[in-house]
Amino acid sequence: VKLQNILGSDDLNAIADEALLVSLLRSRAVRDLELELFFTRLRAALLDAANMEPPPQITPLVLQLCCALAEQCFINEYIFSVSDAEFDAVERLSQHVTTAITAGREVAPMRVAVLGSYRPLLTLAPDLESQRWPKPVDDLITQQVREPRSEASELADIPALTPIVDSVSLNVQRQYETNPFPRWTYISPVRSTPIEAYLQDKLSIAPDGLPSDANGFDTLIAGCGTGGHAILRAQLFPRSRFLAIDLSRASLAYARRKTREAGIDNIAYGQADVLELGSIGRSFDVIESIGVLHHLSDPLAGWRVLLSLLRDNGLMAIGLYSAAARRSISTIRDDIARRGIAPSAAEIRAYRQDLINRGLIPHVADFFNMSGCRDLLFHVMEHQFTIPQIKAFIDEHGLTFLGFEQSKEVVTQFRQLHPDPAAISDLDCWHRFELSNPRTFLAMYVFWVQKMRR
C-alpha cells in the first residue's frame, strides 16, 4: 500500500473492512512489529490528510478504522514512534479542533479520531460533548474522556489504610501513579472453581490439607495494581472476600472502575504499603502478591509482613523475578542506567525504537505498551531471585512449598528429567531444571506455599 495515496484507495477500504483487525486494534495492544510499523505509517498519513483544508471525505468504514487506530494508541499508551514533523502537525490539528469547537463550528469527525491517535482526547481543553458524533467517535470519546473522568471521580473514595514513608515505596508509587500497570482492557470471564481443582490445575499436583473454602476465604491481594488479578480471583472464588491494596491511587481507581463495570462486589480496595500492613489488624486465609515484592527496598521484609498476616494452614502465592530468566533484560537495564535515559514517555519511546532498530527486542508482551515497557526496562527498583534464595526463606520460616504455576509443556519436560512424582514440589530439582533451561521463568517465578499450624 502506498501510504501517501492511501485515502480513498481500495486498499484502505479493504483494510477497514477487516473486522478482525479492527477488533484487535480496539481490544489489546498489537504485539507484532510489522503491524506496528504499518499502523505507525498509516497514522502519519492520516494526520497529513486530517490537516488538509477542507479535510477529505472518508467512508464510514474508514472513519471506523481511524477510531479503532486511536483506541489502539490509547491502549498502548502512545508507544508508536513519532517524528518531529508529526509533533508539529499534531499541534496544528489540536489547535484547529480546539478553535472550531470553542467557536461552536462543526468539526470533521476524522480530525477528532486522528487527534485521539496521538494524544488522549481528555487533554483537549473544550468539551467534545457539545457536538453529536458518529458511533465510532462517540466510543472513542468514552474511552479517552468519559472513562478517565470516571476513574478520577473514584480517587477521593479510595481509603488510605497505611502511611507510605519508605523512600523506595514512594519512588515506586510515583512510577505507578504516572504509569498504572498493567493497562489491561478485557479479561475473559472465568467460572467459579474449588481451590483444590484450581491448584491441581496450576501446580500439576493435588496438595493435601488445604483449608476448606465452603464459606469462601478472606483473601488479601497485596500489590493489586490495576485489578485484573483481583477481578479474576473474585470470579474464580465468588464466595471469598477480597481486600486488594496497592501504593498507586491511579492504579486503584482503574481497578475500581473495572470492578464496578464487571458487576463484582466482593473486592474492597485500599491504598497501603506492604511494609506497613502489620498495622491494619487483619488476618487472611489466602494472600497473593504477584510481581510486587521484588520492587520493595527489602523484599524479604515485605514477605515477612505478609506471612505475619496469614492464618494457620493459610495459602500464599508469591511472584518473584528470576535472575536467570532476566539476564538479557538486565543487560538492557544496565545500558539504560549507563546512558542515563529518563523514564519519560518521549525517552522510553525513543529508546524502545532504538532497540527495535538494533534487533534487540525483548520477546515479552510488556514491550508493546508504555507502562509495560517502563515496568519491564525502566523500573525504579528491581530485585531478582534464585531458587536457592527462595528455598532458604521457605525453610527458615517453616513453610510448605506446594509448587510453581507452570505450563503443561514445562511440566512434561520437567517430568521427563525427574519422573519421581514428589519431584514436582522439590525446589532442588527445579533449580537443576532452571540451570539447564534458564528461560523457564521468563515471566517470573509464581509459586504457592502453605503455613502449616505448628
* Closest approach of ligand SAM to the CB of residue 447, in Å: 14
Q: How far is the CB of 123 from ligand SAM (least distance, A)?
A: 24
Write down the least CB distance from residue 290 to ligand SAM, Å: 4
**Span interacting with ligand SAM, options 26-34, 92-100, 268-276, 396-404, rule CB under 6 A:** 268-276
What mask of x and - would describe binding to ligand SAM in positions 168 to 197, judged by CB under 6 A? -x--x---x----xx---------------
Burial of 97 (0-12, 13-18, 19+ CB in 10 A): buried
Instruction: Measure the CA–CA gap between 70 and 25, rounded to whole angstroms.
Output: 9
Answer yes or no whether residue 291 interacts with ligand SAM by CB under 6 A: yes
Are 369 and 77 spatial neighbours (Cβ–Cβ below 8 Å)? yes
Residues in region 207-226 near ligand SAM by CB under 6 A: 223-225
Smallest distance, Å, CB 8 to ligand SAM? 43
Q: Does 274 bind ligand SAM (CB under 6 A)?
A: yes
- Residue 296 near ligand SAM by CB under 6 A: yes
Residue reference for cell 486465609: 285
- CA dist 19 and 105 (Å) reads 33
What is the C-alpha separation between 444 and 447, in angstroms, rounded?
10
* CA pair distance 452, 312, nearest whole angstrom: 6
Nearest CB to ligand SAM, comparing residues 148 and 225: 225
Burial label, 345 (beta-carbon count in 10 A; 0-12, 13-18, 19+): middle
Output the smallest distance, CB 148 to ligand SAM, in A.
18
> What interhelical angle do 345-357 and 370-377 show, nearest 10?
80
Q: Is 199 in the site for ligand SAM (CB under 6 A)?
A: no
Question: Nearer to ligand SAM by C-beta: 117 or 371?
Answer: 371
Closest separation in Å from C-beta 371 to ligand SAM? 9
The stretch among 75-83, 88-96, 188-196, 289-297 that binds ligand SAM (CB under 6 A) is: 289-297
Cis peptide before 54 (omega within 30 of 0): yes
Buried b (16+ CB within 10 A) or exposed e, 100-133: bbeeeeebbbbbbbbbbbbbbbbebeeebeebeb
**Of 47-55, 147-155, 278-286, 292-300, which part binds ligand SAM (CB under 6 A)?**
292-300
Which CB atom, from 136 or from 223, has the smaller least distance to ligand SAM? 223
Q: How far apart are CA 185 and CA 154, in angstroms?
A: 18
The residue type found at 438 is P
DSSP class of 56: P
Nearer to ligand SAM, 150 or 297 (CB): 297
446 binds ligand SAM (CB under 6 A): no
In the range 60-99, which residues lie near ligand SAM by CB under 6 A?
none
Instruction: Tell me whether strands 400-404 and 445-450 are parallel, antiparallel or unpaired.
Output: antiparallel
| Residue 275 binds ligand SAM, judged by CB under 6 A | yes
Please say which residue, 217 or 321, places its beta carbon nearer to ligand SAM: 321
CA 379 from chain center: how many Å?
14
Neighbours of 412 (CB within 10 A): 11
| Total residues interacting with ligand SAM, rule: CB under 6 A | 23
User: Can residue 248 be called a binding residue for ligand SAM (CB under 6 A)?
Assistant: yes
- How big is the CA angle at 364 (ends 362 and 368), to the nearest 5 degrees? 90
Q: Does 231 bind ligand SAM (CB under 6 A)?
A: no
Gap between the terminal Cα atoms of the chain? 69
Is residue 115 close enough to count as binding ligand SAM by CB under 6 A?
Answer: no
Q: What is the nearest approach in angstroms of ligand SAM to the Cβ of residue 292?
A: 4
- Interacting residues toward ligand SAM by CB under 6 A: 169, 172, 176, 181-182, 223-225, 228-229, 246-248, 251, 273-275, 290-292, 295-296, 375
